[in-house]
């Protein structure tokens, strides 16, 4: 993977928060209430745009985790990308 410089703290915050929650339908991204509590208690994020980005990142992570469970699914990146 290429190095991430500018938003690395958001990736760190996502994994500290835990990007997915168990649901009756599989997994889902975090709720706004969970994100709000995380932001207030850790002060890892403070700006509204950071909360929006973190929420979207968790939703995308949960979606890919569900789709990645399908063994017949096409990989998200072409094989040559990893070379």
Residue extents of the structural domains in the chain: 8-69
Residue 51 contacts residue 39 (beta carbons within 8 Å): yes
User: How far is it, in rounded angstroms, from Cα 74 to Cα 78?
Assistant: 9
In the three-class reduction of DSSP (H, G, I as helix; E, B as strand; rest coil), residue 67 is classed as helix
- Please report how the helices 8-17 and 48-68 are oriented relative to each other, as an axis angle in degrees rounded to 10: 60
Residue 80: band (very low, low, confident or very high) from pLDDT cuts 50, 70, 90: very low
User: How far is it, in rounded angstroms, from Cα 35 to Cα 62?
Assistant: 15
What pLDDT is recorded for position 4? Answer: 73
The average confidence (pLDDT) of the chain is 85
Residue 51 contacts residue 45 (beta carbons within 8 Å): yes
Tell me the mean pLDDT in the region 6-35.
90
Tell me the mean pLDDT in the region 10-23.
92
Tell me the mean pLDDT in the region 69-83.
65
């Amino acid at each position: 993977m290429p190095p991430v410089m500018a938003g690395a703290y958001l990736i760190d915050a996502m994994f500290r928060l835990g990007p997915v929650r168990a649901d009756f339908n599989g997994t889902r991204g975090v709720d706004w209430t969970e994100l709000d509590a995380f932001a207030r208690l850790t002060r890892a994020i403070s700006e509204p745009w950071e909360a929006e980005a973190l929420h979207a990142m968790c939703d995308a992570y949960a979606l890919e985790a569900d789709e990645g469970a399908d063994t017949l699914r096409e990989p998200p990146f072409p094989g040559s990308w990893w070379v």
